[in-house]
Amino acid sequence: MSAYQQLTDLFQRLSRYEHLGAMAGWDQLTMMPEGGSEARAEAMAELEVLMHHTLTAPEVGEWLAQAATESLDDTQHANLREMQRAWHDAVVLPERLVEARSLAGARCEQAWRRQRPENDWAGFAANLREVVSLSREEAAIRAEATGTGRYEALLNKFEPGLGVAELDRLFDDLRGWLPELLTRVVERQRAHPVRTPEGPFDREAQRRLGVATMTRLGFDFDHGRLDVSLHPFCGGVPEDVRLTTRYREDECLGALMGIIHETGHARYEQNLPQAWRGQPLGRARSMGVHESQSLTFEMQLGRSEAFLRQLAPQLVEHFGARAGFEADNLVRLAQHVEPGLIRVDADEVSYPAHILLRYEIERSLIEGAIEVDDIPALWDEKMQHYLGLDTRGNYRDGPMQDIHWTDGAFGYFPTYSLGAMLAAQLMAAARRAQPGLDEQIAAGDPGGLFDWLKTHVWQQGSRFDTPELIRRATGEPLDAGYYRRHLEARYAG
Binding residues are 261, 265, 291
Residues that constitute the known binding site for Zn(2+):
261, 265, 291
Q: Which of 52, 49, 156, 40 is nearest to 100 (CA)?
A: 49
Own/partner long-range contacts of 38-42 (Cβ < 8 Å, ≥24 apart): 38/107, 40/106, 41/102, 41/103, 41/106, 41/107, 41/110, 42/103
- How far CA 243 is from CA of 56, 171, 240, in Å, comes to 32, 30, 10
Cα 51 from chain centre: 23
Helices assigned H by DSSP within 34-163: 37-55, 58-67, 74-91, 95-115, 121-146, 150-158
DSSP 243: E
- What's 340's DSSP letter? -
Are residues 406 and 128 in contact, defined by beta-carbon separation less than 8 angstroms? yes
Q: Check: CB of residue 241 under 8 Å from CB of residue 234.
A: yes
Q: Reply yes or no on whether 144 is catalytic.
A: no
Is the peptide bond preceding residue 477 cis, with omega within 30 degrees of 0? no
User: Residue 466: which of 71, 39, 85 has the closest Cα?
Assistant: 85
Options 82, 138, 262, 305, the catalytic residue: 262
How many C-beta neighbours within 10 Å does residue 58 have? 6
Among candidate residues 255, 242, 233, 342, the one with its CA nearest the CA of residue 302: 255
Active site residues: 262
